Amino acid sequence: MFGEGQIERIATACAQDNAELVIVDGALSAIQQRNLEERLKIKVIDRTGLILEIFGERAATAEGRLQVELAHLDYQQSRLVRSWTHLERQRGGFGFLGGPGETQIEADRRMIRTRMGRLRKDLEQVKKTRTLHRERRGRAPWPVVALVGYTNAGKSTLFNRITGADMMAEDLLFATLDPTMRAIRLPGVEKAILSDTVGFISDLPTQLVAAFRATLEEVTAADIIVHVRDMANPANSAQKQEVLDILTDLGVIDGEGGENSIPIVEAWNKWDSIDETQQPELERAAEMDEQIVPMSALTGQGVETLLELLGKLLTENAKTYEFVIPAEDGQRIAWLHAHGEVLNEDELVGEGQAQMRIEVRLTPKEFGRYTAL
């Protein structure tokens, strides 16, 4: 990976700056890592190691911690040989038996494999629980809006702005690791669920792909996806492609035709940080596509426009229905008030049982759920 001259330059730079750690932006094999540490005389980690460290600090829920620990063990498994280089691995034995170091490595590997098996079982249980929760939300007819985007794009800041919640939202990579949900009101929609998800990243370490997938399953159950983009970042186009690639992997976007199974709205965030000379050009681009909303989650600029667009998309296929329901059927009447837009309601006076006539706007999804009551 590095030539002799480069290693000497890195060693000199480390000595001059009293560096205690060298991070390589790429994947290092266990041997490369050991050789670099021996030459530089300081600790060396690679991109995967760094991301795992950050994930380890940020994981807040039980599931997040399980996923990170499993990824850590998977990563460490191939690097155990480095821990035991001080032991005599060839001493004694008859050609087919290793020395004490080899025995220790095998013991450690066995412990790691056992622990990984237990973690996978625990994660499977968590996954089942989340699937049950998602099915329960599916029966409760509230639309789900999922926030997705590259790490540090401002999803949690937008989540807090819309919900009034106090989620951790800082200028950090992976400030959010676990899906978070809150109920919100949208124009024309009495109740919707807003979901904040983990930030995406390019070249995701293989050990974390499974953890990411489990977390992102919430996105596949959403009615609308809001793709939050950091438009002040020079690399925002590459970041957008990375997000679209992951959504394609999840089946949200059809890889060949590029068709979306779930509507996607682009929230062009951090508008207040964009260079004023670039704003007119971006504004023109946004005006060409009604699914794009320039905004700033920090100042609140454009957030109302975004909410109006979400409300419009969720109700655009709604039709007006008229139901005549017995006045004593409070459950159905309450359901229509909670999940539709009641336009008119009056009591039918006549002989016999009292009845209510209700004129209400319902989306096809809500109408299907109502008829199934």
Confidence class of residue 265 from pLDDT cuts 50, 70 and 90?
A: very high
Distances (CA, A) of 313 to 61, 140, 188, 220, 340: 33, 19, 10, 17, 15
Question: What pLDDT is stored for residue 106 in this prediction?
Answer: 74
Check residue 352 and give left, alpha or beta (phi > 0: left; psi -120 to 50: alpha).
Answer: left
Nearest-angstrom CA–CA distance, 41 and 35? 10
The per-residue pLDDT for range 99-114, each reduced to its tens digit, is 455 566 677 778 888 8
The per-residue pLDDT for range 47-69, each reduced to its tens digit, is 888 888 877 777 766 777 787 78
Sheet holding 319-326, edge to edge: 319-326, 355-362, 341-348
Helix, strand, coil shares, percent, the chain, to 5:
50, 20, 35
Question: What pLDDT is stored for residue 16 in this prediction?
Answer: 93
Higher pLDDT, 372 or 232: 232
Using a cut of 0.85, tell me whether the model's pTM lies above it: no
Question: What pLDDT is stored for residue 339 in this prediction?
Answer: 76
**What DSSP designation does 43 have?**
E
Kindly state the average pLDDT of the residues 228-235: 90
For all residues of the chain together, what is the average pLDDT? 79
Answer yes or no: are the C-beta atoms of 244 and 270 closer than 8 Å.
Answer: no
Question: What pLDDT is stored for residue 92 in this prediction?
Answer: 43
The per-residue pLDDT for range 21-54, each reduced to its tens digit, is 999 988 888 888 888 988 898 899 888 888 888 7
Confidence class of residue 89 from pLDDT cuts 50, 70 and 90?
A: very low
Question: What pLDDT is stored for residue 93 in this prediction?
Answer: 42
The per-residue pLDDT for range 270-302, each reduced to its tens digit, is 998 888 888 888 888 888 888 899 999 988 889
The per-residue pLDDT for range 156-201, each reduced to its tens digit, is 889 888 887 665 555 555 545 556 778 888 887 777 888 887 777 7
Nearest-angstrom CA–CA distance, 53 and 72? 9
Partners of 229 in the β-ladder: 268
